[in-house]
Amino acid sequence: MSTVKKSLTPFGQQLKHRTVVENDEFAAFARRIIRAHGRRVATGDVEALRDLVALSTNLDDAIGDAVIGLRAFGYSWAEIGQRLGITRQAAQQRWGGQQ
């Protein structure tokens, strides 16, 4: 039986600073999968090389979606830029046109 965590549901009032739920573990899992895919290609699966490279496009799209979502959630360009180690202007220049 599955249980839905209230912190993961989109209903109700959204607060700007929500409790982080499983993000560190999820990111670590994603990194392991990508590294494993690279190792698989390295063992001779040349056909999978194109798929591995395509992941970079998927990752860029996901970052854009995340930034747009954070902006809609109320985060400023300065807050986003700070987390990325770039200026607010650089963040806005890179992702501002996607909104």
Task: Determine, yes or no, domain membership for 1.
Answer: no
Task: Determine, yes or no, domain membership for 7.
Answer: no
Q: DSSP per residue over 38-80, as a string?
A: HHHHHTT-GGGHHHHHHHHHHHHHHHHHHHHHHHHHT--HHHH
Task: Determine, yes or no, domain membership for 71.
Answer: yes
pTM assigned to the model: 0.69
Task: Determine, yes or no, domain membership for 9.
Answer: no
Residue pLDDT, tens place only, 15-37: 566 666 678 889 999 999 999 99
Task: Determine, yes or no, domain membership for 94.
Answer: yes
pLDDT of residue 11: 45
pLDDT of residue 18: 63
What is the domain extent for residue 67? 21-98
- Total domains in the fold of the chain: 1
Residue pLDDT, tens place only, 26-84: 999 999 999 999 999 999 999 999 999 999 999 999 999 999 999 999 999 999 999 99
pLDDT of residue 99: 67
Task: Determine, yes or no, domain membership for 8.
Answer: no
Task: Determine, yes or no, domain membership for 63.
Answer: yes
